């Protein structure tokens, strides 16, 4: 158990069976009445934001998050399998937990999984990944002044918008936070 004096950005707690992280908080001491804490809470599963006010001294169930480095092995149906680098134990993770980052996972790459109560709730990839283009329309010579883009399919099956000069076989640097093309590697 924790109380409102333990609140800080990133603090995780259990509310109505769901895990929430504090995105913002503000201690308020009005001239009249007791102090309270105004918070913006982010649901760790759905990403929904909730505004909630706590009276000063209220108790909440704190949730301890563990960040474990694991290696991505393979995908089967809607499950992605990761291996713990210390114990070599394999853990399946549902595609819904990974969200759009699932398309940026390359086999045998490492990622950090956020685990709460022995359940994976989020994944933290490196800021950039390098992936090869497996299919794209050929670029047209001299058509670079317009800043036009085309679709390119990467080795993981992820589709990204790239400039016209990118060709099949090129390695691209992709930003995992936005899923956008950064540069040719």
* Same-domain status, 148 and 100: no
Per-residue pLDDT band for 177 (boundaries 50, 70, 90) equals: confident
Instruction: Please say which residue of 62, 81, 107 terminates a domain.
Output: 62
* Same-domain status, 92 and 53: no
pLDDT reported for residue 40: 93
* Same-domain status, 74 and 57: no
* Same-domain status, 13 and 32: yes
- Give pLDDT tens digits for 32-68: 888 899 999 988 877 788 899 999 888 888 888 888 8
Q: Cα(139)–Cα(97) distance, rounded to whole angstroms?
A: 36
* Same-domain status, 180 and 140: yes
CATH assignment at residue 85: 2.40.50.140
Per-residue pLDDT band for 145 (boundaries 50, 70, 90) equals: low
**Higher-scoring residue by pLDDT: 145, 106:** 106
CATH assignment at residue 14: 2.30.30.30
* Same-domain status, 119 and 133: no
pLDDT reported for residue 51: 92
* Same-domain status, 78 and 97: yes
Q: Is the pLDDT of residue 173 over 80?
A: yes
* Same-domain status, 149 and 169: yes
- Give pLDDT tens digits for 82-138: 998 888 988 888 888 887 788 888 888 888 888 887 888 888 888 888 999 999 888
* Same-domain status, 116 and 141: no
* Same-domain status, 99 and 53: no
Q: What's the domain count of the chain?
A: 3
Per-residue pLDDT band for 141 (boundaries 50, 70, 90) equals: low
Task: Give the number of other CB atoms < 10 A from CB of residue 19.
Answer: 22
When pLDDT is averaged across residues 66-83 and rounded to a whole number, the result is: 90
Q: Which domain holds residue 45?
A: 2-62
Instruction: Please say which residue of 35, 62, 89 terminates a domain.
Output: 62
pLDDT reported for residue 107: 86
pLDDT reported for residue 124: 83
């Amino acid at each position: 158990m924790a109380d409102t004096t333990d609140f800080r950005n990133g603090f995780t707690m259990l509310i109505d069976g769901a895990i929430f992280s504090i995105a913002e908080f503000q201690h308020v001491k009005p001239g009249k009445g007791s102090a309270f804490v105004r918070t913006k809470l982010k649901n760790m599963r759905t990403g929904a934001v909730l505004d909630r006010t706590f009276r000063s001294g209220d108790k909440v169930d704190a949730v301890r998050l563990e960040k474990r480095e694991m290696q991505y092995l393979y995908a089967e149906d809607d499950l992605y399998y990761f291996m713990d680098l210390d114990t070599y134990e394999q853990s399946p993770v549902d595609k819904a937990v990974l969200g759009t980052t699932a398309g940026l996972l390359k086999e045998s790459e490492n990622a950090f999984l956020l685990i709460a109560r022995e359940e994976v709730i989020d994944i933290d990839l490196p800021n950039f990944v390098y992936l090869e283009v497996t299919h794209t329309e050929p670029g047209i010579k001299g058509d670079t002044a317009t800043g036009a883009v085309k679709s390119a399919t990467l080795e993981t099956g992820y589709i990204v918008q790239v400039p016209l000069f990118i060709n099949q076989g090129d390695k691209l640097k992709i930003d995992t936070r936005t899923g956008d093309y950064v540069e040719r590697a």
